[in-house]
Amino acid sequence: MDPAKERTGTRPPNLMRRHADHSGERGLTPASLRRANERTLIGLLTRFRRASRAELAKASGMSQPTAGKIIHRLLALGALREVNGNHRPGSPGGNGGREGGALRPGRPGRQIEFDPRTPRFLGVQLDVTETALAGLPFNPHCDEEWPVRFPTRPGLEEWIESLAARSVVPHPQRLWGVMLSTPGIVDEAAGRVVFSPNLHWTERTDLRGAIEGVWKLPVVVVQEIRALALGHLMHEPDHRDFLLVDFGEGLGGAIVIQGRLFSNPLPLHGELGHTPIPGNPRRCGCGGVGCLETLLSRRSLLDGYAASGAPEPHDWDGFRRHVAAAGIPPWFDGALAAAGSVIAGALNTLGLRRVVVTGLLNDMPSAVLGRLFGAIRQGGIWARFGEIEFCAASRRRASGLVAAGIDLVAEPHFGVGRKPAG
Ligand SMILES: [Zn+2]
C-alpha cells in the first residue's frame, strides 16, 4: 500500500512510526520514501529533542548522506536549526558534539533541534466560551501559551469575523498553515464538525473553508481531545498506548494505540462523556438523558456544588477549598465512581492499561483523582493481575496542533518557492 494514500486528507500525523517507516516497504516512489524518512527523523528528534546528524542517521538506520539530505531540507525550510550543543540527558549517544564535529569539520559540536521560536502555524483553539490564538513554532515541545483570547460568538459568520480581526503574528501570510482544535464529533478528513453537543452552531458548517478564506493558508482541523492526546505523545514518547480523558467544559476521551491516534471508519472516538448513568435525570446537550458529562463538566460540578447548600462563593476556587477542607461530598463521590466505571469499561474494551487524565480534576485536592483512580482500578480487569497506570498530565494542545502541522511540511511540494518566515 502506498503510504501517500494512507495520508490523504488532513488526518493528524503519526510522528511516532519510527524505525519501521523506511524499512520493509517495497515499491515506494522516491517522494513517498523521502516523506517516510523525513517523518522518521522528525520522530527521532521528538524523542531526543537535540541530536547530531550522525546520531540521527545512526538511530534511524539511514545512511549519513540520506539523513544529511533530509536534515538539510528541513534546515533550509526553517523547520529545524543548528546549535552548538553539549551532551544533555536524553540525547542518544552521549558524545553528540564530537560526532557532529566529525561530520562537519571545522564546526565541532553542531547539533540539530526544532526551531523553538519562529511562528510557523497559527493555532486556533475553538472552545465553548472562549477562542484562543497563538503563533506556533515548528516545535512539538512548544510552550502552551495562547496570548490572544476572545469570547466565542455563536454563528460561523460572527466567529470568523472576530477571528479575522485579531492579529497574532506580524506576517500571517508567511505562515505554513492554520491548525484548528475544535470540540464535538469531528470529521477531520472533511474539516467539518458533524455534531457538537456544546457548540451546535459549528455543526455542518464549512469551518475549514471559512478559515481558508481568511488567510489563504492550508487549514487542518483536529478534534480537541485528539489534539491533547497527540500533544501528550510529543512530550511522553514512551507512552505508546493510553486512553486520555479530559475533564473540562465537557468530558472527552482519545485513544492512542502503538504510538498512533486510534482511527476508525466513523469520525467518532472516545466519547465517554455521553454514556448514560442510571439514576441521573439530567438532560445533555447531545439530546440524551443522564450522560456522564452532565455530572462532571465544569458547569455541572459548579451547579452541583451550589445545589448542595455549601457556603459561597460557588465558583471553582470555592469548590476546591470546600473539598480540601470537608472532603469529597457524596454527590461528587458518586459522579467520580460513575466516571471510573465508564473509563474502566473503555480500558477493558480497548485492552489498554494506562490512563492519562488532563484538565479540571488535576487542579483539585489529590483525594479527587485518588477516588477516580480507585474506581477505575475496581472496574479494570487488568488490575486483577497486573497494574493499571495513571498519569495526571498537563494539557498540551499547542504541541498536539504542531504535531498535526508537521505532516503538512512533509507534503511533497511543500516549501517549493517558499521563503522561510524567519
Ligand atoms: Zn450527552
- Reported as a single tens digit per residue, the pLDDT across 230-247 is 999 999 999 999 999 999
CA of 304 to the centre of ligand 1 (A): 17
CA of 348 to the centre of ligand 1 (A): 22
Q: Is the peptide bond prior to 105 cis by the omega test (within 30 degrees of 0)?
A: no
CA of 283 to the centre of ligand 1 (A): 8
- Report whether 119 contacts 178 (CB < 8 A): no
- Report whether 407 contacts 13 (CB < 8 A): yes
Q: Give the CA distances from residue 361 to residues 231, 320, 357, in Å, rounded to whole numbers and listed in that order.
A: 19, 10, 8
Length of the chain: 422
CA of 194 to the centre of ligand 1 (A): 15
Q: Give the CA distances from residue 228 to residues 95, 222, 273, in Å, rounded to whole numbers and listed in that order.
A: 34, 10, 16
CA of 276 to the centre of ligand 1 (A): 8
- Report whether 308 contacts 331 (CB < 8 A): yes
Question: 310 pLDDT exceeds 80?
Answer: yes
Cell numbers describing residue 361 = 480534576
Question: 379 pLDDT exceeds 80?
Answer: yes
CA of 310 to the centre of ligand 1 (A): 27
Q: What's the pLDDT at 412?
A: 57
Residue whose entry in the numeric block shows the C-alpha cell 538506520: 61
CB neighbours of residue 284 within 10 Å: 21
Band (399; pLDDT cuts 50, 70, 90): very high
Q: What's the pLDDT at 411?
A: 66
Q: What's the pLDDT at 414?
A: 63
Q: Please give the Cα distance from 67 to 53 (Å, whole number).
A: 7
CB neighbours of residue 98 within 10 Å: 14
CA of 341 to the centre of ligand 1 (A): 17
CA of 198 to the centre of ligand 1 (A): 9
Rounded to the nearest 10°, the torsion over CA 306, 312, 316, 320 is -100
- Report whether 183 contacts 198 (CB < 8 A): yes
Cell numbers describing residue 56 = 540521527
CA of 168 to the centre of ligand 1 (A): 35
* Structure confidence by residue, pLDDT tens digits, 17-72: 333 333 344 456 777 888 889 989 999 999 999 999 999 999 999 999 999 999 99
Cell numbers describing residue 58 = 545512526
**DSSP secondary structure of 117-178:** SSEEEEEEEE-SSEEEEEEEES-TT------EEEE--SSHHHHHHHHHT---SS-GGGSSEE
**% the chain with pLDDT above 90:** 74
**What contacts 419, CB < 8 A, 6 or more positions away?**
174
Q: Please give the Cα distance from 223 to 183 (Å, whole number).
A: 6
Q: What's the pLDDT at 123?
A: 97
Q: Which of 17, 25, 101 is nearest to 60 (CA)?
A: 17
Q: Please give the Cα distance from 235 to 316 (Å, whole number).
A: 28
Q: Is 74 helix (H, G, I), strand (E, B) or coil?
A: helix
CA of 231 to the centre of ligand 1 (A): 26
Question: 92 pLDDT exceeds 60?
Answer: no
Question: 78 pLDDT exceeds 50?
Answer: yes
Question: 96 pLDDT exceeds 50?
Answer: no
Q: Which of 5, 9, 18 is nearest to 260 (CA)?
A: 18
Q: What's the pLDDT at 10?
A: 38
Q: What's the pLDDT at 408?
A: 77
CA of 116 to the centre of ligand 1 (A): 39
Mean pLDDT of 356-381: 97
**% the chain with pLDDT above 70:** 85
- Report whether 142 contacts 136 (CB < 8 A): yes
Strand ordering across the sheet containing 80-84: 50-51, 110-114, 80-84
Q: What's the pLDDT at 31?
A: 77
Domains of the chain are 3-114 (1.10.10), 119-228+398-409 (3.30.420.40), 239-392 (3.30.420.40)
CA of 289 to the centre of ligand 1 (A): 7
Band (86; pLDDT cuts 50, 70, 90): low
Most confident of 4-8, 171-175, 212-216: 212-216
Band (101; pLDDT cuts 50, 70, 90): very low
Q: Please give the Cα distance from 296 to 332 (Å, whole number).
A: 8
Q: What is the mean pLDDT of the chain?
A: 86
Q: What's the pLDDT at 368?
A: 98
Q: Phi and psi (nearest 5°) for 310? A: -70, 160
Q: Which of 252, 135, 237, 276 is nearest to 199 (CA)?
A: 252
CA of 287 to the centre of ligand 1 (A): 6
* HSE-up (13 A, CA, CB side) for residue 102: 10
- Report whether 250 contacts 293 (CB < 8 A): yes
Question: 174 pLDDT exceeds 50?
Answer: yes
